[in-house]
Amino acid sequence: MPPLNYFVVESPDATGREAYERIAGDVLQDLDLIKVVDRLHIYVDPKAPIFIAAGMLRHMPRAIRVTDFANINPGEKEIVLDIGDEAYLAPLLQKLWARYGKENVDQPDRFTVVLPAGLAGEEDLEQMVVADPSETLHKDIIYALQYIAPEGFKVRRQYIKDEKFYYVASEDTLEGDIVETMVAPIFAKMGVTL
């Protein structure tokens, strides 16, 4: 695991601390989030019981546009899109159908999409936003934290906005001011104000 810029696991239980360090590393690696998370601080105390994970993301990935994965070849009668990476083909087709109608979008094979010329401007097409990875990224981060946290800790509060995120979970009801009393000091340790 390539090191995050800051990765600390705290726990009163020494064995548990080591185990959670390994779990967090494995989960981030499995879900391919190592490159995305910049700092992560986990505090887990089974006696309280409380699990807190707080951290910062690296810069958010930008939106994916058609030019990022396809070549646009305008012809006299039609515009041919030459797909380089199939990963975004499905959302692209959805967008094209919605914009130009299904009857105008032809897909003769896996890597080619044909549109009638005149219907779409080349510029328009190039700049069309097909997918925004940050949407799913937020979900992925929360899922990863849920996955790292002990399973019995079902009561939870989560937050993710811009680059900061936290996830607090417990078996019992969470105090109303838990964020101020427990999460903010953890952010302070990372040198960040929530």
Partner 1 sequence: MTTLVPVTYKGGVYRHDEIVDLIDDLGGYIVQKHIMAQDVVLQSFVPRDDIDLIREIAKPLAGEVTEAPLVGTEIAVVSPSLEIHHLPHTACDIAEYLRRAGAKTNMVGLARGFGKRIANLNDEERDVINEHDLAVYALGNFEECIRQKFPVLRRGIHVPIVVTGAPDRETLVAIVDPPVEGYVGGIGRIMHRFKRPEELAKLDELVDEVSRTLDARRDVLAKDPLSVFPPRLMAILEERIHEISMLTHPTPVTAQMEGLRLKLPYDSYAPAVRSLEIADGVTIGDIADVTPSRMRNYILIRIKPFSETRILV
| Piece of 73-81, 100-108, 145-153, 186-194 that binds partner 1 (CB under 8 A) | 145-153
Q: Does 139 bind partner 1 (CB under 8 A)?
A: no
- Minimum separation from the CB atom of position 92 to partner 1 (A): 31
Angle at 77 between CA 71 and CA 81, to 5 degrees: 15
Length reported for the chain: 194
- Euclidean distance between CA atoms 5 and 158, whole angstroms: 22
Q: Does 51 bind partner 1 (CB under 8 A)?
A: no
- Minimum separation from the CB atom of position 8 to partner 1 (A): 17
| Piece of 98-106, 117-125, 149-157, 182-190 that binds partner 1 (CB under 8 A) | 149-157
The CA-to-CA distance between both ends of the chain, in Å, stands at: 27
To the nearest 10 degrees (0 to 180), the angle between helices 14-30 and 133-148 is 150
The nearer residue to partner 1, 18 or 106, going by C-beta atoms, is 18
The nearer residue to partner 1, 49 or 133, going by C-beta atoms, is 49
Q: Taking CB under 8 A as the criterion, which residues in 66-125 touch partner 1?
A: none
141 with 37: CB under 8 angstroms? yes
The nearer residue to partner 1, 3 or 108, going by C-beta atoms, is 3
For the CA atoms of 2, 52, 153, 165, the dihedral, rounded to the nearest 10 degrees, stands at: -70
- Minimum separation from the CB atom of position 17 to partner 1 (A): 9
Angle at 143 between CA 140 and CA 149, to 5 degrees: 140
Q: Taking CB under 8 A as the criterion, which residues in 172-191 touch partner 1?
A: 172
| Piece of 1-9, 44-52, 108-116, 183-191 that binds partner 1 (CB under 8 A) | 44-52
6 with 24: CB under 8 angstroms? no
| Piece of 81-89, 103-111, 146-154, 178-186 that binds partner 1 (CB under 8 A) | 146-154
49 with 172: CB under 8 angstroms? yes
Q: How many CB atoms lie within 10 A of CB 47?
A: 7
Where on the chain is the footprint of partner 1 (CB under 8 A)? 13, 15-16, 19-20, 22-23, 26-27, 30, 46-47, 49, 147, 150-154, 171-172
